[in-house]
């Protein structure tokens, strides 16, 4: 009961701080402004996530100003409106550290740092794309044989293998730390960082799971406003899981009406998107796992992780691996595209004109 009360008290504190940080919007003091940075969250979360605090009021200016450390007096002297409640919120969300002033507690990479990091990925990405080319070609043939003309190849390669199973292997090998939410570190566990400029294109993966079944959703910033409709109604999403568990198809009329426009089910409620059974002996799973393991084990071989950690002042090798591999996986994907092995679906190439049915190319079921 005591632990529950502590968590409840913290939740009330955060809610009050988020609601109470009503600082009048100030013109950005930095160029580029923090809103022009790309913030990446590799986290598990329960409740508020870091980005929910970063972009309130002029918090981005505070975070940029505190990269090298600053006191409240220095912030105010620099013309950056700052209140005690803002600082408390950023501290509570583990975005600021306090010690004779305030210092940003997560990495922020400027333009030069970001460009250098990405250049480090160029040759390793080409080498790794070459090393997995044959296995990747065999996987793509299997995907076509298994799922026909369904345009899911990109999402399986990226969201399931490079941005999915590789992370599992990295953690199994002790190269990254688990994303745990604890009493000492509530709300979110994992790593968050910001960098500038954003890549012209990158995608990510959101997962929603229930009793051993996972909906993996490949997303990019351009399609997110449309794609978010898939999970926005969490009650409806849970009902979708319930139908899947109980029947293997959608039988609830309300669920059918809600999800049919996404083209993930047919007229009888059967799922039309790829379903991947995660078990040894399933040739599709085994091939994905083999590629993921090869990539993961090569990461510390092709990247100078200790050197990157020292250059950028990252906290440890786990944080370094997480940040560096994100850039590497996007570079590998770009190389696979350049080699003609995979191509982006319409939802990514033309998000403005993509229809609801194009979203089916981005959604997988794992069980």
pLDDT at 367: 96
CA distance 300 to 307: 11
Of 213, 257, 249, 216, whose CA–CA distance to 233 is shortest? 257
Residue range 274-285, pLDDT digits in tens: 999 999 999 999
Q: Are 133 and 264 in contact (CB under 8 A)?
A: no
Confidence check: pLDDT of 19 > 60: no
Average pLDDT over residues 147-175: 96
Residue range 245-271, pLDDT digits in tens: 999 999 999 999 999 999 999 999 999
Q: Are 198 and 38 in contact (CB under 8 A)?
A: yes
Instruction: Give the chain's radius of gyration (CA, Å).
Output: 22
CA distance 330 to 301: 18
The helix (run of H) or strand (run of E) holding residue 216 is: strand 213-220
The model's confidence at residue 184, banded by pLDDT at 50, 70 and 90, is confident
The model's confidence at residue 26, banded by pLDDT at 50, 70 and 90, is low
Residue, of 187 and 21, whose pLDDT is higher: 187
C-alpha 134 chain-centroid distance: 28
Average pLDDT over residues 81-100: 96
CA distance 141 to 129: 17
Could you tell me what percent of the chain has a pLDDT over 90? 88
Can you tell me whether residue 217 is helix, strand or coil? Answer: strand
The model's confidence at residue 126, banded by pLDDT at 50, 70 and 90, is very high
313: left (phi over 0), alpha (psi -120 to 50) or beta: left
CA distance 105 to 112: 20
CA distance 195 to 75: 22
Can you tell me whether residue 22 is helix, strand or coil? Answer: coil
Neighbours of 222 (CB within 10 A): 17
Q: Are 112 and 120 in contact (CB under 8 A)?
A: no
| DSSP bridge partners of 208 | 215
Half-sphere exposure of residue 206, counting CA atoms within 13 Å on the CB side?
14
pLDDT at 2: 32
Q: Are 270 and 299 in contact (CB under 8 A)?
A: no
CA distance 147 to 219: 20
Q: Are 273 and 365 in contact (CB under 8 A)?
A: yes
What is the chain's mean pLDDT, rounded?
92
What are the start-end ranges of the H helices in the chain? 2-20, 50-54, 59-65, 72-77, 84-92, 111-131, 133-147, 153-155, 166-172, 224-227, 234-247, 253-259, 283-302, 305-312, 317-338, 346-349
Residue range 300-356, pLDDT digits in tens: 999 999 999 999 999 999 999 999 999 999 999 999 999 999 999 999 999 999 999
124: exposed, middle or buried (C-beta count within 10 Å: 0-12, 13-18, 19+)?
buried
């Amino acid at each position: 009961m005591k632990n529950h009360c502590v968590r409840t008290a913290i939740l009330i504190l955060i809610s009050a701080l988020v609601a109470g940080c009503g600082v009048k919007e100030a013109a950005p003091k930095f160029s580029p402004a923090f809103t022009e940075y790309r913030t990446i969250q590799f986290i598990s979360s329960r409740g508020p996530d870091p980005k929910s605090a970063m972009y309130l009021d002029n918090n981005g200016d505070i975070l940029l100003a505190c990269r090298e450390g600053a006191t409240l007096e220095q912030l105010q002297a620099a013309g950056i409106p700052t209140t005690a409640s803002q600082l408390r919120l950023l501290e509570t969300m583990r975005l600021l550290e306090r010690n004779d002033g305030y210092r940003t507690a997560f990495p922020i990479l400027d333009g030069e740092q970001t460009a250098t990091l990405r250049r480090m990925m160029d040759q390793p990405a080409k080498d790794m794309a070459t090393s997995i080319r044959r296995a990747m070609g065999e996987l793509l043939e299997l995907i076509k044989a298994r799922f026909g003309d369904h345009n899911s190849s990109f999402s399986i390669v990226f969201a399931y293998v490079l941005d999915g199973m590789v992370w599992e292997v990295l953690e199994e090998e002790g190269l990254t730390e688990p994303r745990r939410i604890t009493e000492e570190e509530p709300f979110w566990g994992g790593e968050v960082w910001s960098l500038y400029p954003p890549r012209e294109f990158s995608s990510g993966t959101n997962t929603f799971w229930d009793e051993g079944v996972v909906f993996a959703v490949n997303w990019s910033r351009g399609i997110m406003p449309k794609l978010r409709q898939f999970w926005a109604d969490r009650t409806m999403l849970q009902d979708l899981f319930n139908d899947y568990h109980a029947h293997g198809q959608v039988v609830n009329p309300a669920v059918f009406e809600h999800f049919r426009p996404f083209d993930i089910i047919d007229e009888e409620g059967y799922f039309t998107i790829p379903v991947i059974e995660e078990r040894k002996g399933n040739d599709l799973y085994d091939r994905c796992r083999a590629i993921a393991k090869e990539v993961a084990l090569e990461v510390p071989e092709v990247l100078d992780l200790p050197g990157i950690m020292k250059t950028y002042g990252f906290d440890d090798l786990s944080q370094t691996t997480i940040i560096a591999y994100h850039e590497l996986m996007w570079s590998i994907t770009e190389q696979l595209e350049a080699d003609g092995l995979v191509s982006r679906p319409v939802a990514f190439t033309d998000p403005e004109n993509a229809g609801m049915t194009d979203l089916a190319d981005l959604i997988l079921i794992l069980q």
